[in-house]
Chain A
Amino acid sequence: MNGLRPLTAQVGAETYMTLRRGETLLLTVGIPVAFLVFFSTSRVVPTGPGPAVSFFVPGILALAVMSTAMVSLGISTGFERGYGVLKRLGSTPLGRPRLLGAKVTTVFFVEVLQAAVLVPVGYALGWQPGHGHVAAAAFDALAAALLATLAFGGVGLLLAGVLRAEVNLAAANGLYLVLLLLGGMIVPLSKLPGVLAYIARALPAAALSDALHASLGTGDPVPAAAWVTLGAWAVGAPLAAALTFRWE
């Protein structure tokens, strides 16, 4: 059998469902755009020297990756598990690798869509990327987003694979809120109390926003610590999810 046909059909179905879920679009596009516009123009959060938008575009892009890869993927997978969809797919020739491949591809599609909305909004608000080499900065940002997608996807699936769908929904949303505040996405890490900042730096959210603030904001090289943290989560979280995931 043509191995690609089930995969492309699955990607088509997953994308169709993702784009038709109003709450998902609110979470992945609506809230990030609203945050970007509000915080860039209101100046309620001090972001140091330079235009606020230059801090918030990388931070909100990091938030967008987290919303899609962790919250949206995790919640929908949790409900699919609860509805017996994953169990039923287990007795079709689709197979787990293609199901996972379709989910990852769909997450990347949505992230591209998010960037296609957020970046122009950022430019319209006066965002000016850093002074570094454009190609190198873009490469760093994409690599960081890729690693973060794996890390957040792993965390989302870890919760979805063990918790009841409703509990998973609450847990994913709670984690979203915590990581939003501790992730350097809206509140700069330098403004957090010492211990909290220390903890935050070990989490994937802060590592991603550090990487994006460097590559897309200041134009500085991405700190090595951010790569190490992102890499560790990108390997560890999916592995933990794979080992604990219950299909029914």
Chain B
Amino acid sequence: MSADGISGFDGRGAPVVQCQDLVVRYGPRTAVDHVSFTAARGEVLCILGPNGAGKTSTVECLEGYRRPASGMVRVLGLDPVREHRSLVARIGVMLQRGGVYPMLPPARALRLFASYYADPEDPEELLELVRLRPVARTPWRHLSGGEQARLSLALALVGRPEVLLLDEPTAGVDPEGRLAVREVVRAARERGACVLLTTHELTEAERVADRVLVLSGGAVAALGTPASLTAGPVAEEAVEVAFGGPPGLDLRELELAIGGGTTVTEEEPGRYRVRIALGVATASGSVASAGGHGLAPGALAASVATWLAQRGIAFSELRIGRSLEEAYLEVLRAHGAPGDAEGSDR
């Protein structure tokens, strides 16, 4: 775990979200087990984890909906339960589901929520921002899942929050909606807000997160930048390239073509991983010489691409290193996660 993974400073100022040894219990069950992290202004922190990992419970403590069994939680220096009234004027919340009057159309809902705040955003501008102008007069219950999510997001933004707490903002949202969510999150971060969001979507996290917190079984399994997680321990030991192609390629032939020490595995049908352990010379020397010092990932990728192209094999998603999804699954395995046990996300 890198140093920047622990503190939320990152040169952006004091942390505005602090969570220290947070414990949440539901009866005999411990949902959140000594979780600690911070987040700063201008930072996007994604909370990842399987269902039941404690993501929502953690966020709901920050929102003041839940009282921690023990530990300390501060948002903007305030206790979310005891200083709730001062806090709510400065945060924006998006619940995992619902939260809007079913009869209210977006334009009315935004005007209503705007009235709660001293210096609200212009509801009309927010409608544009989340692309709900065409359905501004359609009651909430007739909106699509993606439109409902975008309205909830707009309602979270209307009070110009310093901290945005979004619980699964992209769940059930179509690609266009996800793009809108990403734009909104980036814009909020640009103006110095701290954004915390929980998600199951690893590609979303990879695109917007400054740092990622992985929860598993209520505890912190990993905390760091997406780069530090995807690099992982593998970076020092080996060079990896992954690609997609037709299933059933001749792995042995590819290994021989690239050279000694290369292992190629078909991880699932049509998904391949090429790995060279560092310190092993290649037969052809092409990969080793490319970087001038050991193995260059780019050279390995080029070798793989050349081999595929020469044989006329269509390929896709040629990637150096691991994806966040792979890193995430590995973190969970290493943490001995109790699987993706289905259950309520508490």
One digit per residue, 1 when the CB lies within 8 angstroms of any chain B CB and 0 when it does not, for chain A 76-108 equals 000110011101101111110000000000000
Asked whether A84 lies within 8 Å of B99 as measured between CB atoms, the reply is yes
Q: Are A13 and B88 CB-contacts (below 8 A) given A92-B113, A93-B116?
A: no
How near does chain B come to A234, taking the closest CB pair, in angstroms?
Answer: 28
Q: Are A20 and B103 CB-contacts (below 8 A) given A91-B64, A92-B113?
A: yes
Query: CA of A20 to CA of B64 in the docked complex: distance in angstroms?
Result: 33
Asked whether B115 lies within 8 Å of A9 as measured between CB atoms, the reply is yes
Query: CA of A79 to CA of B103 in the docked complex: distance in angstroms?
Result: 11
Q: Are A13 and B104 CB-contacts (below 8 A) given A84-B95, A90-B65?
A: yes
One digit per residue, 1 when the CB lies within 8 angstroms of any chain A CB and 0 when it does not, for chain B 101-112 equals 111100010011
Chain A residues, Cβ within 8 Å of B118: 1
Chain B residues, Cβ within 8 Å of A10: 112, 115
Number of A-B contacts (CB under 8 A): 73
Query: Which bracket fits the contact residues of A?
Result: 20 to 34
Chain A residues, Cβ within 8 Å of B98: 83-85, 87-88
Query: CA of A87 to CA of B88 in the docked complex: distance in angstroms?
Result: 13
Asked whether A93 lies within 8 Å of B85 as measured between CB atoms, the reply is yes
Asked whether B63 lies within 8 Å of A91 as measured between CB atoms, the reply is yes
Chain B residues, Cβ within 8 Å of A248: 65
Asked whether B102 lies within 8 Å of A91 as measured between CB atoms, the reply is no
Chain A residues, Cβ within 8 Å of B308: none
User: Closest residue to B86 on the A side, CB-wise?
Assistant: A93
Chain B residues, Cβ within 8 Å of A20: 103
Tell me what chain B mostly uses at the interface: helix, strand, loop, or mixed.
Answer: loop
User: Closest residue to B114 on the A side, CB-wise?
Assistant: A9
Query: CA of A88 to CA of B231 in the docked complex: distance in angstroms?
Result: 39
Chain B interface, number of residues (Cβ within 8 angstroms) = 27
How near does chain B come to A37, taking the closest CB pair, in angstroms?
Answer: 30
User: B100 is contacted by which of A5, A8, A83, A90 (Cβ under 8 Å)?
Assistant: A83
Which 9 A-B pairs rank lowest in CB-CB distance, beginning with the nearest?
A84-B98, A88-B99, A9-B115, A91-B93, A1-B118, A83-B98, A84-B99, A93-B89, A92-B116
Could you list 12 examples of A-B contacts with CB < 8 Å?
Answer: A1-B117, A16-B108, A17-B104, A80-B101, A85-B99, A88-B93, A88-B98, A88-B100, A90-B88, A91-B91, A92-B116, A93-B159
- Contact surface of A with B, Cβ cutoff 8 Å: 1, 5-6, 8-10, 12-13, 16-17, 20-21, 79-80, 83-85, 87-88, 90-95, 248
- Apart from A85-B98, A92-B117, what 9 extra A-B contacts exist at CB < 8 Å? A16-B108, A84-B95, A85-B100, A87-B95, A90-B65, A91-B64, A91-B65, A93-B85, A93-B116
